[in-house]
Amino acid sequence: MSDGAGTGPERESERAAGGETEPEPEPKPAPEPKPEPKSAPEPEPEPEPAPEPEPTQKADPLTDAFVDEWAVSTIVRTIVPLLIVLSALQMGSGAVLESFEEQLLEQPSLLVLVPVTIGTAGNLGSIMCARMSTQLHLGTLEFSLDNRNVRANVGAVFGLAATVFVLLGFASWGIGRVLGGTLGLVPLLTITIVSGALLAVWVVVVSSVSVYASYRFGYDPDDTTIPVVTNVCDITGVLILFAVVRVVLGP
């Protein structure tokens, strides 16, 4: 956080689109510096048996090929296989939840942690990826810790994680109390802060690796990384959370 606060407002308006940090890809920048752009609007990049023909942004909106992209069967055939793979993977974190069933039922605070951890992991991952892919398109990103953008991204992810997980510690304690749990504030804060910190490190690693890999393999990271990273972070978020729960509360 070097010369931060002062120049805020002007910067924000300048960067209307490019600096947004929403968990969705920005309005697509003109595909420039990537080797062989391959853009598919569907949010999953797994290799697909029947990939759509390239729905390039520049395509004439009236051609038949383009209208077919909007056919019900095309959309269903593209999305369903991806979601089936995804839900099979999510069974992994479901199995972890299931194995903690007794503790979860006894301590509602722990149940409160689950959706927030999943959501925050995905959010931080998509912020990281959206920013890195935009910076890659703009040519201002290098994969090095000396890069100002890299440091700003990483710093922001840590700051956001710290904010969310400290608040989460207090909130889950309060809500758990109301719902009849007995877990104390100290163990809950320990759980949320430790798992938040681990999650932030993990988000940074996964996002950087996937943006870099996507770039190296010639895919536009705008299209490929967010779905992969949010799902990976969702699933591993639960694993990290319950690994920490086990250490803090004992088996």
Under the binding rule (CB under 8 A), the answer on residue 203 touching other proteins is no
> Rule CB under 8 A: is residue 101 a binding residue for other proteins?
yes
List 22, 46, 54, 142, residue binding other proteins (CB under 8 A): 22
How many CB atoms neighbour CB 24 within 10 A? 11
Least distance CB 161 / other proteins (angstroms): 9
23 lies in the binding site for other proteins (CB under 8 A):
yes
Residue type, 111: L
| 35 touches other proteins by CB under 8 A | no
Question: Do the beta carbons of residue 197 and residue 121 sit within 8 Å?
Answer: no
User: Binding of other proteins at residue 230 (CB under 8 A)?
Assistant: yes
Minimum gap (Å) between residue 175 Cβ and other proteins = 5
Per-residue x/- track, 158-187, other proteins (CB under 8 A): -xx--xx--xx--xx--xx--xxx------
Exposed e or buried b for every residue in 200-218, given b needs 16+ CB within 10 A? bebbbebbbebbbebbeee
Shortest Cβ 167–other proteins spacing (Å): 6
Measure Cα distances from 139 to 2, 133, 134 in Å.
22, 10, 9
**193 touches other proteins (CB under 8 A):** no
The two structure tokens encoding residue 89: 């993977």
Q: Is 49 in the site for other proteins (CB under 8 A)?
A: no
Nearest-angstrom CA–CA distance, 135 and 216: 15
> What's the min distance (Å) between Cβ of 21 and other proteins?
4
4, 47, 49, 251: residue in contact with other proteins (rule CB under 8 A): 4
Size of the site for other proteins (CB under 8 A): 98
Q: How far apart are CA 231 and CA 76, in angstroms?
A: 20
Contact 121, 200 (CB under 8 A): no
Q: Should residue 50 be labelled a site residue for other proteins when binding is judged by CB under 8 A?
A: no
31 binding other proteins? (CB under 8 A): no
The answer for residues whose C-beta is within 8 angstroms of residue 115's C-beta and 6 or more apart is: none
| Residue 211 makes contact with other proteins by CB under 8 A | no
Nearest approach in angstroms of CB 164 to other proteins is: 5
Residues contacting residue 88 through CB under 8 Å, at least 6 positions apart: none
